[in-house]
C-alpha cells in the first residue's frame, strides 16, 4: 500500500535535550497509526515537525511522497496539542476562518459541527466552551477540508469518560471511511482500542514499531505452585516450551512460547510426578508490557 507519511531519521534538539532522536517510521494508507509514549517522549515534537510548525534539526519527511506544501496540507487535517481558536469569536466564525484558509466553502461548516455534536452551540463564543467542547471543535476544524489524513495529538485529553468514548467512536467512524489517522497518545488503552499500528517512543527514541497485535499482544502468564518448590523449579527449567520463568515467594511465574498453554504445563508436571496445588492463568496487563518494552533498552 502507498505510504502516507514517510519519516526518515528525523531529529530535534532543544539545547542539551534531544527531543526526537533519528526517528524513522512509515505510515501506510488506511492505517490508524498510534504514537505511544509517556509525557515528554517527543510525540508532539514529532507531529509538530511533520506539520511544518517546528523546524527539524536533522532528517527528513514526506507526505504522499512529496515535501510539505500547501497542496499536501490541503489533504491533511490536524490538531496539535491544544485547540487553537480566537476566544472572542463564536464556533461558527472560528470555523469560517479555518474554511477560508483551507479554501473550502462555508457549507461544510454546518456539516462538521453536526458531526461533532456542536450544532446547538454554534453561536457560543469559544471562550465559553468547556474543554471537551473545545476539543470537539478542534476535531471539527480538522475535518473541515474532508482530509485524507487526520493527525490528532492527544485527542481525548481533558475529556470526561463520556467524551472520551464519543471521540474514540468518532475516530473509528472516520477511519471506517478509509481515512488514515495518525494519533499521538500517552494512553496505552486508547492506542490498543483504536489503533492498527503503533510506534512506542521514549525520550525521543523509537523503542518498538509494528502492528498493535504483535507489539502489544498480551501474552498469558502461567502461575504455578506445588509443595516442594525446588523440585518444581528443576522440572520447569527442563521444559522446552517455557520462554521465561521467575519465582515469587513459593509460586513460579512462567511465560510460554507461542502455541503452548497452561494445559501443556499441567501435563508435563503430572508426567514428572508433581501434582500442582495451584495453576492460574493471568493475562498480562498492557501497562506491564509497555513498561517492559521501555525497560528493555533503557
Partner 1 sequence: MNLLRIELHKILPYRTVWVILAIYAALLLLILYASSKVTINGSELGEKMYDLPAFWLRLTYIASFFNLLFGILIIVLVSDEYSFRTLRQQVIDGLSRAELVLAKFYVVLALGVLGTVFLLLLGLYFGLLHSTDHSLSAIFGHIDALSYYFVQAVGYMTLAMLFGFLIKKSGLAIIAFMAYAKIVEPLLHFRLPDAVDKYMPMKVLGSLTPMPGQQMLDQLTTPTELLSPAWATLPAIGYITLFCLLSYYTLKLRDL
List of residues contacting partner 1 (CB under 8 A): 48, 51-55, 70, 73-74, 78, 80-82, 84-89, 93, 96-98, 100-103, 141
Of residues 138 and 216, the one with the C-beta less far from partner 1: 138
Of residues 101 and 291, the one with the C-beta less far from partner 1: 101
Determine the Cα–Cα distance for residues 170 and 138; give it in Å rounded to an integer.
Answer: 13
Q: Smallest distance, Å, CB 67 to partner 1?
A: 13
Q: Smallest distance, Å, CB 174 to partner 1?
A: 18
Of residues 41 and 90, the one with the C-beta less far from partner 1: 90
Q: Smallest distance, Å, CB 89 to partner 1?
A: 6
Q: Smallest distance, Å, CB 20 to partner 1?
A: 13
* Angstrom distances, CA of residue 194 to CA of 176, 182, 241, 255: 11, 11, 33, 27
The three grid cell numbers given for residue 182, joined into one nine-digit string: 495518525
Q: Smallest distance, Å, CB 170 to partner 1?
A: 20
Of residues 93 and 203, the one with the C-beta less far from partner 1: 93
Rg (CA), the chain: 24
Of residues 37 and 83, the one with the C-beta less far from partner 1: 83
Determine the Cα–Cα distance for residues 181 and 204; give it in Å rounded to an integer.
Answer: 21
CB 29 within 8 A of CB 4: yes
Q: Smallest distance, Å, CB 157 to partner 1?
A: 15
Rounded to the nearest angstrom, the gap between the alpha carbon of residue 60 and the centroid of all alpha carbons in its chain is 22
The three grid cell numbers given for residue 244, joined into one nine-digit string: 521465561
Query: DSSP letter string over 11-33?
Result: EEEETTEEEEEEEEEEEETT-EE
Q: Smallest distance, Å, CB 57 to partner 1?
A: 11
Of residues 54 and 212, the one with the C-beta less far from partner 1: 54
Rounded to the nearest angstrom, the gap between the alpha carbon of residue 3 and the centroid of all alpha carbons in its chain is 18
Rounded to the nearest angstrom, the gap between the alpha carbon of residue 208 and the centroid of all alpha carbons in its chain is 12
Of residues 138 and 236, the one with the C-beta less far from partner 1: 138
Query: DSSP letter string over 212-225?
Result: HHHHS---EEEEEE
CA dihedral 206, 27, 37, 78 (to 10 degrees): 140
* Angstrom distances, CA of residue 111 to CA of 21, 84, 157: 40, 20, 24
Q: Smallest distance, Å, CB 252 to partner 1?
A: 52
Determine the Cα–Cα distance for residues 130 and 117; give it in Å rounded to an integer.
Answer: 13
Of residues 141 and 170, the one with the C-beta less far from partner 1: 141
CB 59 within 8 A of CB 9: yes
Amino acid at each position: 500500500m502507498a505510504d502516507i507519511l514517510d519519516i526518515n531519521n528525523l531529529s530535534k534538539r532543544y539545547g542539551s535535550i534531544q527531543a526526537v532522536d533519528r526517528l524513522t517510521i512509515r505510515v501506510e494508507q488506511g492505517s490508524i497509526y498510534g504514537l505511544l509514549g509517556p509525557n515528554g517522549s517527543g510525540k508532539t515534537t514529532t507531529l509538530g515537525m511533520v506539520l511544518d510548525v517546528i523546524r527539524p534539526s536533522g532528517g527528513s519527511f514526506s507526505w504522499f511522497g512529496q515535501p510539505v506544501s500547501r497542496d499536501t496540507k490541503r489533504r491533511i487535517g490536524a490538531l496539535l496539542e491544544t485547540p487553537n481558536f480566537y476566544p472572542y469569536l463564536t464556533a461558527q466564525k472560528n470555523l469560517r476562518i479555518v474554511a477560508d484558509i483551507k479554501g473550502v466553502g462555508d457549507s461544510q461548516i454546518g456539516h462538521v459541527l453536526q458531526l461533532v455534536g456542536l450544532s446547538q452551540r454554534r453561536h457560543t463564543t469559544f471562550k465559553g466552551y468547556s474543554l471537551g467542547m473545545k476539543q470537539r471543535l478542534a476535531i471539527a476544524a480538522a475535518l473541515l477540508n474532508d482530509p485524507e489524513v487526520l493527525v490528532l495529538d492527544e485527542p481525548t485529553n481533558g475529556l470526561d469518560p463520556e467524551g472520551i468514548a464519543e471521540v474514540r467512536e468518532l475516530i473509528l467512524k472516520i477511519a471506517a471511511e478509509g481515512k488514515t489517522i495518525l494519533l499521538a497518545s500517552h494512553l496505552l488503552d486508547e492506542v490498543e482500542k483504536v489503533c492498527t499500528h503503533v510506534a512506542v517512543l521514549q525520550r525521543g527514541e523509537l523503542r518498538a514499531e509494528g502492528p498493535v497485535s504483535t507489539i502489544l499482544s498480551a501474552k498469558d502468564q502461567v502461575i504455578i505452585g506445588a509443595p516442594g518448590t525446588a523440585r518444581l523449579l528443576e522440572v520447569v527449567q527442563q521444559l522446552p516450551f517455557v520462554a521465561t520463568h521467575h519465582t515469587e515467594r513459593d509460586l513460579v511465574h512462567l511465560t510460554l512460547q507461542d502455541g503452548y498453554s497452561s494445559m501443556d504445563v499441567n501435563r508435563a508436571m503430572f508426567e514428572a510426578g508433581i501434582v500442582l496445588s495451584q495453576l492460574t492463568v493471568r493475562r498480562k496487563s498492557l501497562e506491564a508490557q509497555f513498561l517492559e518494552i521501555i525497560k528493555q533498552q533503557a
